[in-house]
Amino acid sequence: MVTRLVVLISGSGSNLLDLLERCEEHPEAGLTVVAVGADCEAAGLDHARSRNISTFVVPLSSFSSREEWGENLGEEIEAYSPDVVVLSGFMKLLPPGVVGRFAPGMINTHPAYLPEFPGAHAVADQIRAGVNQAGASVISVDDGVDTGPILARQRVPVEASDSVESLHDRIKIVERQLLWQVLTQGDKLATVPQGEDSST
């Protein structure tokens, strides 16, 4: 049984690359990335193209409304018949119609210990708040901003010398581990009870 993944990105695709390499190194996991999509001509698409994996780009600016954009994005995703849609550094908020089309099989990684520090600037927010424990999470996407059911999460210590960049680099390592853990679970979308960390 093969689990078909469509991955959505907006940037360099470092987490995508890690996922692709894990899929290659562990064929027994039964995971295959069948397509990678983006909202712009993202550099990370090259990770897919170099492996002859299909790619697609659906820019928000090409449509008159977010809903129209979402409908077209949904059609592109649906064309690959995914079992799971992975948002991996995808920086656009999806319209409810797209979420409803693929939920609960649409998951997202986030660089904080949700529900703490939701939003696009989570790492910088954690640095500014002076916390000594940051985190990483994987959630099932809903219509809110990082409010969906928590599938996995883990604390990441903050060091006194940390910058946004150095903390984010360490969080990404944990994000990648948690994403792989969720994707390879027998029951992929079983939620983690509030207050519990995921083992890696």
Please list the active-site residues: 110
Cα dihedral 29, 10, 42, 101 sign: positive
The closest of 100, 111, 102 to 153, measured between CA atoms, is 111
Residues with Cβ within 8 Å of residue 17, at least 6 apart in sequence: 44, 47
In the block, which residue shows the tokens 């996407």? 141
Question: What token pair was written down for 160?
Answer: 């006194």
